[in-house]
Amino acid sequence: MLEELKTFISVVELKNFTKAGEYLNLSQPSVSTHIKNLESYFGVVLINRSIKQKHIFITESGYILYKRAKEILNLVDLTYMDVRDTSNSFKGHIKIGASLTIGEYLLPQFLASFSKKYPDVIVEVFIENTTVICNHLKDLNFDIGLIEGTSIYPDFNQDYFLKDKMVLATPFEYELNSSNFSFDKLKDQSWIAREEGSGTREFMDMFLNNNKIIPKNIITFGSNYAVKEAVRNGIGITIISDLVTSPAVKNNEISVIDIGESYYRCFSLILPRNITTSNVTQVFIDELKEYVSNINK
């Protein structure tokens, strides 16, 4: 049954029998047999095939089984690691989905200490914007998500772990500075923004709307580094995390204006509900919270 479930998951994700067979190193007849076995077992059609099987369509029952199959195989993997690990060393494997600010500016230093403490834990980090992380976690492709925006799914357990200071970043020695700042002066400015779906973009849009600021234009970049470099080169201004700006401010490359505690946001860790958390994931969470608490001291 487990092999059939693995085959079914691959067919659903790759949307093709032949590609699933190549991925699993199975012949196409074997893939078809696995799917037929599952349909016979459950007594329902899981996949509708077009003529010559060039296109497949997953049924409602198929999507239900897909979600459950992912949960089952995840639990099998957790059980395997728990049963197998009888030594004194702590071993395991964790897949982390992190949004860009966290993945680029917080995780590297934390993982340096984590990996030194737990050298036998295999860590994989996937850095994407908040929306992409949530989508992958929903499909159980990650063990944990670390995001700076708002989760688009209600079926996650969400826990805030760090308050992030947002600042107004401007080119160095810009006409607008802390001494002459007012929200009115932010109107008719060129703004640099992250892409739609990122937590930083979500926050900037909220800032502009709350203060009734209409930008002259908005230029979009897909990374924090590109946004920071655009500001440094005088293209415009932005709202961004203090974690991103601090090194550039110290080097007199850009300037920042403190916009007050009203514009702090929280980093969150998210986990799928009703899924057993592995020992490795729980240790990772505990260590991250301890690390963050030491930062805030």
Structural domains of the chain, count: 2
281 and 210 belong to one structural domain:
yes
* Per-residue three-class SS string for 181-246: CCHHHHCCCEEEEECCCCHHHHHHHHHHHHCCCCCCEEEEECCHHHHHHHHHCCCCEEEEEHHHHH
Residue 261 pLDDT > 70 = yes
Q: Residues 91-108: pLDDT tens digits? A: 788 999 999 999 999 999
Residue 86 pLDDT > 60 = no
Choose one of 30, 58, 82: the last residue of a domain: 82
Residue 295 pLDDT > 80 = no
124 and 267 belong to one structural domain:
yes
64 and 122 belong to one structural domain:
no
The burial of 294, by beta-carbon neighbours within 10 Å (0-12 exposed, 13-18 middle, 19 or more buried), is given as exposed
Residue 282 pLDDT > 70 = yes
What's the pLDDT at 52? 61
What's the pLDDT at 146? 95
* Residue whose C-alpha is closest to residue 151's, from 135, 165, 134: 134
Instruction: Name the average pLDDT for the chain.
Output: 87
Share of the chain above pLDDT 70, in %: 94
Choose one of 47, 82, 117: the last residue of a domain: 82
Residue 28 pLDDT > 90 = no
99 and 224 belong to one structural domain:
yes
Give the 3-state secondary structure of residue 174. coil
What's the pLDDT at 40? 86
What's the pLDDT at 143? 92
Give the CATH number, domain containing residue 49. Answer: 1.10.10.10
108 and 46 belong to one structural domain:
no
Give the CATH number, domain containing residue 133. Answer: 3.40.190.290
Residue 53 pLDDT > 60 = no
Q: Find how far residue 59's CA is from the centre of its chain.
A: 28
Choose one of 57, 82, 107: the last residue of a domain: 82
Residue 35's beta-bridge partner residues? none
75 and 115 belong to one structural domain:
no
Please give the Cα distance from 147 to 167 (Å, whole number): 18
State the pLDDT confidence band at 296, using cuts at 50, 70 and 90.
low
Element containing residue 264 per DSSP (H, E): strand 264-272
Please give the Cα distance from 52 to 63 (Å, whole number): 22
* C-beta of residue 288 within 8 angstroms of C-beta of residue 108: no
58 and 103 belong to one structural domain:
no
| Backbone torsion region of residue 59, taken as left when φ is above 0, otherwise alpha when ψ lies between -120 and 50, otherwise beta | beta
Which tokens in the block code for residue 247? 């090194």
208 and 113 belong to one structural domain:
yes
Structural domain for 230, as ranges: 89-297
124 and 74 belong to one structural domain:
no
129 and 163 belong to one structural domain:
yes
103 and 43 belong to one structural domain:
no
95 and 146 belong to one structural domain:
yes
Q: Find how far residue 34's CA is from the centre of its chain.
A: 33
Stronger pLDDT, 219 or 28, i.e. the higher one = 219
Residue 288 pLDDT > 60 = yes
Q: CB neighbours (10 Å) of residue 100?
A: 25
